[in-house]
Amino acid sequence: MEVIIYWEDDNSSILKDKINLTLEDLWLNDFIKVISTKDEKLKEELNITKTPALVIHEESIDFKDTIFEWIIPKDEEIKSMFISIIWWWSWTDWCAPSDCWTCTTWC
**Domain definitions of the chain by residue range:** 2-106
How confident is the model at residue 47, as a pLDDT? 92
- Indicate the pTM of the whole model: 0.70
Please give the chain's pLDDT, 107 residues, in tens: 899 998 877 667 888 889 999 999 999 888 899 998 999 999 999 999 988 899 998 888 888 888 888 888 888 998 998 888 776 544 444 444 444 544 444 44
Domain covering 2-106, topology: Glutaredoxin (3.40.30)
How confident is the model at residue 10, as a pLDDT? 67
- Kindly tell me the burial class for residue 15, based on how many C-beta atoms sit within 10 Å of its own C-beta (0-12, 13-18, 19 or more): buried
Q: Is it true that the peptide bond before 73 is cis, omega within 30 degrees of 0?
A: no
How confident is the model at residue 44, as a pLDDT? 93
Which of 62, 82, 68 minimizes the C-alpha distance to 20? 82
